[in-house]
Structure 1
């Protein structure tokens, strides 16, 4: 059976919903530089592991962004219209949006937009007691999928009102330039009539600070990275031995990004849905990028998505920035 047929025709043990996952995995692992899409990190276990990462000493991103929110949420809220809806793609636990909501009493609706059902439920459980009067309308889906976003907009008419699309946490940096532009264009559509987009970005900084943030001493980031292999085993009939791979973070200075890799510790063959994937010793799977920006480079990126950078808020160390954008 040819590779293309194998990809398209899922075995009876793989659900139809996992066919896209299988296609992406086989496609990525048959490239010269093996890779896996980072969006598949976030099954329920992966999402829970990432929540642990956000509390690590080395991972400055979350606590720095929370400090910015604590300091500037009131100021940000005063800039925004009183009556709008907030859409948060990749809402996670809902901790960050709570800072804004505390200063925005007239928000019409909060729309957590998440690929993980568990994280949607977690967000609801966290926010509902804090804001009992707030209407929360969860949206299950993939905000990186333009076709899905267009369909959801059509079904919900979200673009017929004024929205704030809130995208914290530097997740935008996980995507290459073209995909980041596509995602921001999705946000431009989602923000609706005279809307706003508020995005968190991780700024260029010292190399060692970045490397430590993605390779913590407790090994939580390594477990998060390897969990992607376990998910392939569980959902796609994979045969990865996780002990045969080592987590590694690298700083690519040319592209101002951290790269996460899983490095094969030996020559080995892995089977996924009856297809063999061969690994040489030292060969890696490139699982994630985390691009770091300057304010100027981000401004240029946003302009390609027809968004104008209006205002920024940063911490005292200039590690992180919250950026307010408007459609051009």
Structure 2
């Protein structure tokens, strides 16, 4: 197991505080969803993936189970695989089991905890695999540029693997920027394999983000707990309720935390006032038509080569190449 390559970790810590202060200072208060995943947030998300209402993970795993061999046939030997936001490593294990002579696996995470979680899961399964973790923010273009240059990832042919529906968490403009980062990370004539959640029945979407057991609500509110613990804040979690909404115009699920009362919260000594019913917008999850995603990818310099979908048309894995 290789030593974790890290860059600007102090900047990452400072950016958390700066992003929270900036988000809560907006007219529509917001918090970046990339900060959901501390230890507790990661554990809660793993619970979400097992819920009946949350179709995303099991649907994608069914696609991988059925098509991993076909995907592998389209990829060359001796690739390095880079997984931004690697999570538990469950999905990459499906691919690694079918790929021949993988050069190395590079989990790329903003969270030390999630890197360690991924390493602990994958190392026993693939003891001969060279694992070279990267600690950094894959949404930050300058950081990606510096890391890819310093590790020489940009001088070889790589597969960037981005499963789940995480690309949908970002606005179209930010998604293009992130896919440009993937274009850089895939190196010389490389590949990007990315998951997208497709448009479907509105109620199916709403249920997936507001389960009956309240796990998604706990996951959403845990972001406030993390801010309390790490940024010297005093959010009262009992005074905020989870809410999911479907924004028809923008084709996305939105998650909000709704203030139950008029209240004031402090973060690192700065005060923020909430009126009753006011929301903090914590996450978007865009749902795509395949043609719209093809056009979005093209703006990042990537062309759609192949897609694999489930029988219901709920989800798609898309293989992209540089244009």
Q: TM-score band (shorter)?
A: over 0.9
Partner of 1:72: 67
Distance change >3 Å, CA 102–CA 17, structure 1 → 2: closer
Partner of 1:280: 275
Partner of 1:268: 263
Q: How far is the alpha carbon of 1:17 from its aligned partner?
A: 5.5
Distance 1:101 1:223 in 2: 33
Residue from 116, 126, 129 that aligns with 2:111: 116
Where structure 2 has 5 or more consecutive residues not aligned to the other structure, the ranges are 1-9
CA-atom RMSD in angstroms:
1.1
Q: Secondary structure at the match of 1:135?
A: coil
Distance 1:144 1:49 in 2: 23
Q: How far is the alpha carbon of 1:264 from its aligned partner?
A: 0.3
Residue from 56, 59, 62 that aligns with 2:51: 56
Partner of 2:24: 29
Q: How far is the alpha carbon of 1:202 from its aligned partner?
A: 0.1
Partner of 1:192: 187
TM-score normalised per structure 2: 0.95
Q: How far is the alpha carbon of 1:126 from its aligned partner?
A: 1.5
Q: Does 1:220 align with 2:249?
A: no
Partner of 1:90: 85
Distance 1:324 1:213 in 2: 26
> Contact between 2:80 and 2:105, CA under 8 Å: does it hold in 1?
yes
Q: Does 1:103 align with 2:92?
A: no
Q: How far is the alpha carbon of 1:105 from its aligned partner?
A: 2.3
Residue from 33, 42, 47 that aligns with 2:37: 42
Distance 2:11 2:170 in 1: 26
Q: Secondary structure at the match of 2:82?
A: strand
Q: How far is the alpha carbon of 1:154 from its aligned partner?
A: 1.5
Distance change >3 Å, CA 60–CA 186, structure 1 → 2: same
Where structure 1 has 5 or more consecutive residues not aligned to the other structure, the ranges are 1-14
TM-score normalised per structure 1: 0.94
Residue from 218, 225, 236 that aligns with 1:230: 225
Distance change >3 Å, CA 83–CA 19, structure 1 → 2: closer
Distance 2:299 2:209 in 1: 29
Distance 2:11 2:285 in 1: 31
Instruction: Show CA shifts across 1:47-105 (max 9, x none).
Output: 12111111111100000000000000000000111221100001111110111111112
Distance 2:15 2:117 in 1: 26
Partner of 1:252: 247
Distance 1:18 1:299 in 2: 35
